[in-house]
Amino acid sequence: MLSLTIDGKKVEAEAGWTLLDTARQYGIEIPTLCYHEAVEPFGACRLCVVELRQGNASRLVASCVYPAEEGLEVHTASEKVNNVRRWILEMLMSECPASQEIKEMAAQYGVETTRFEINDPEQECILCGLCVRACAQVVGANAISTVGRGAQKEIGSPYLVPGDACVACGTCVTVCPTGAMRARFERVRGVPSVVMARSVK
């Protein structure tokens, strides 16, 4: 077992656990968006950021992908961490302003508005790719992927060509942290192989 501290509390972790795994074992809450325990973590949204301190040095890491290590001093809610989380949430509010889930999470951190430009007021998807990974790793369907580039990036059937890989299981809807896949499913009434989340009105 590895010994470390989280928020001043001595904790133990098994080799292979991440900092998020370890914190959750001890009931220490760290907010996440692109993480789901059934899916390999990817570290896309960075909302799970925590601070590692060593002497006067400090750095920020994404707890869902950073491994627990012997002797680490981890802080999950320091001023530095909360400032970065607020900044991330502001960014997300500008990228997907239509997501109620993001608004609610931002409000918990006192973020009510964003200073950043809003390009699409109806956007809900943060392109974290959790739906894509769940479809591949949990369902084994590979029915959706990230397609397009830059501002045109979206989640859809590969090459945006409708196919028969989608089994309409709704896993993508279940894992989506912003409600984007639910909204899309409602629009198309769950019709298989037309699941798309971004830039689709």
Q: Where along the sequence are the contacts to ligand FES (CB under 6 A)?
A: 32-35, 43-48, 62, 64
Q: Which is nearer to ligand FES, 47 or 89 (CB)?
A: 47
Residue 95 or residue 166: which is nearer to ligand FES going by CB? 95
Closest to ligand FES by CB, 64 or 166: 64
| Burial (0-12, 13-18, 19+ Cβ within 10 Å), 173 | buried
Q: How far is the CB of 64 from ligand FES (least distance, A)?
A: 3
In order, the DSSP letters of 33-71 are SS--TTS-----S-TTEEEEEETTEEEEEETTTSBP-TT
> In the bound complex, what is the minimum distance in angstroms from residue 20's beta carbon to ligand FES?
7
CA distance 144 to 161: 10
Smallest separation, CB 192 to ligand FES (Å): 28
For residue 180 the two structure tokens come to 């984007």
Residue type, 139: V
**Nearest distance from residue 101's CB to ligand FES, in Å?**
14
C-alpha closest to that of 132 among 163, 152, 157, 150: 157
Which DSSP category does 113 fall into? S
**Nearest distance from C-beta of residue 19 to ligand FES, angstroms:** 10
C-beta closer to ligand FES: residue 17 or 165 = 17
